[in-house]
Homo-oligomer: A and B are copies of this chain.
Amino acid sequence: MRIEILCTGDEILTGKTVNTNYSHIARRLEEVGLSASWGTTVGDDRAALLAAFRQAAARAEAVIVNGGLGPTVDDLSQEVAAQAAGVDLVLHEPWLARMEEFYRRRNRAMPPNNRKQAMLPAGAEFIDNPIGTACGFAVTIGGARFFFTPGVPREMRRMLDEQIIPRLLAMSGMPGVTRLKRFHSFGIGESRADQMLAGVEALAGPGGGVKLGFQSHYPQLETKLAARGADAAEVEARLAPVAEEVRRRLGNFIVAEDDATLEGVLLGALRARGGTLAVAEMLTAGGIAARLAPLPAAEGVFLRGVAAPDLARLREALGLRGGAGEVSPAAAHAAAAALRAASGASHALAVLTALDPGEDRRELGGTVCIGIAGEGGATVAREARLLGGREWIRLGAAELGLDCLRRLLSGLPTDEPIDFERR
């Protein structure tokens, strides 16, 4: 089925706002086994909108329109949709009542121009928006079904998942239940993961229905299984053996699944054992603390962060006496042990980094040393050589430090080589 995405609005057209709604919609379509075949962007302009609707109608069977449903005069989607469909705008009484109620509950009078948001093309199918004042709707223009969605990202996302995608799947004749299973890993590059997971889709059984995909967000890799079936039981039956095999093959490198994160998993593991954490950093300078401390799971767990630009100043900040020496696993462990003692945390993580000399460049390397001091004398002292320039090494060092701690807390080996490391 040919599906197009049509984004409207001057903010998007002029580049003032980056069009993340487009990429979200396109990605979600891929994840349920559909795909976008064309994207169009036009501004808040009657003639351009009308031309865009007609051209999309001539090419596609379904069109997702985003934006232009607001209360102001430059929001034109309903009006131009009616014109393109050759019908009038009519008041959708139930939505007007819902909006009035929405304002009443907030003890505010509904501004008169909000009434415009309840004017839909005659005969349009109403599509609910449980969290905003811009309802969606669907109309047929030419040979294509147009689905109109609000520009506010969280309203669009919910409407897309709950309302639009089920309708598109029904139109396409595809079984109606989909599920996206995600694995987040650290230490495996996309091409190696692709090789490691060769053939896993076949485990879904003879009917297929599970599609493997990747999204790289260095230093993490996201592995996605998009599963489809007639009902939830079939989806689960197809997905389970594939997911189990992905877990087996990527093994210790999986740091989290679905909406979970490395930081969340690690803080959760600490919290589960009544543990607490302090962090000492050099090149990452506050970056590790800034990833952990703001999370709700960090409350009562994250106790202290210390950052300094070199080992001598870090030792000074940690109250360690004597010469600094070189960045080494032993120095990292000494820093962690001192921080653990000073902060009273059950676990202290130290991430030391020594960049190679010379200016920043793509070939620049660095040595990262991770030290962890934990309960009952549990320790980690790990060294890794990373390449790829200052920023790349900084990102890799933070991830390696967090991952070593996750591995220690999960009873996994902390010295497994990662793909980004040069031995």
Partner of A19, one of B22, B38, B287, B317: B22
Decide: B15 and A27 in contact? CB cutoff 8 A: yes
Closest to A215 in B: B16
Which of A41, A51, A281, A287 is most buried by chain B, counting CB atoms within 10 A of its CB?
A41
- Interface residue from B281, B298, B343 paired with A317 (Cβ < 8 Å): B343
- Per-residue CB contact flags for chain A residues 285-307 toward chain B (1 = under 8 Å, else 0) read 11111101110001100111111
- CB-based contact A293/B285 at 8 Å: yes
Q: Using Cβ atoms and an 8 Å threshold, which residues of chain B touch A51?
A: 59
The answer to whether B307 touches A289, judged by C-beta atoms less than 8 angstroms apart, is: yes
Q: Is the CB of A313 within 8 A of B303?
A: yes
What separation, in Å, do the CA atoms of A422 and B35 have in the docked complex? 48
A48 vs B37: C-alpha distance when bound (angstroms): 8
Could you say which residues of chain B place their CB within 8 Å of the CB of A39?
Answer: 7, 13, 39-42
Mark contacts of A314-339 with chain B using CB atoms, 8 A cut-off: 1 yes-contact digit, 0 otherwise: 00010000000000000000000000
A22-B19, A286-B287, A317-B343 known; A293 vs B309 contact (CB < 8 Å): yes
Mark interface residues in A11-38 (1 if CB within 8 Å of B CB, else 0): 0011111111011111111100001111
Contact of A294 among B13, B17, B304, B394 (CB under 8 A): B394
Complex formed: what's the CA distance from A82 to B29 in Å?
Answer: 32
**Contact between A302 and B306 (Cβ–Cβ < 8 Å)?**
no
Which residues 321-373 of A have a CB within 8 angstroms of B? 342-343
Q: How far is the CA of A25 from the CA of B27 in the complex (A)?
A: 23
User: Do the beta carbons of A26 and B36 come within 8 Å of each other?
Assistant: no
A380 CB–B CB distance under 8 Å: no
Tell me the chain A residues, 176-204 only, with Cβ under 8 Å from chain B. Answer: none
Assess whether A55 is interfacial by the CB under 8 Å rule.
yes
State A394–B55 Cα separation when bound (angstroms). 46
Would B290 and A302 count as touching, CB distance under 8 A?
Answer: no
B313 and A309 contact, CB distance less than 8 A:
no
**Which residues on the B side are within 8 Å of A294 (C-beta)?**
283, 285, 390-391, 394
Q: Does A308 lie at the interface of the complex (its beta carbon under 8 Å from any beta carbon of B)?
A: yes
Question: What's the Cα separation between A36 and B10 when bound, in Å?
Answer: 10
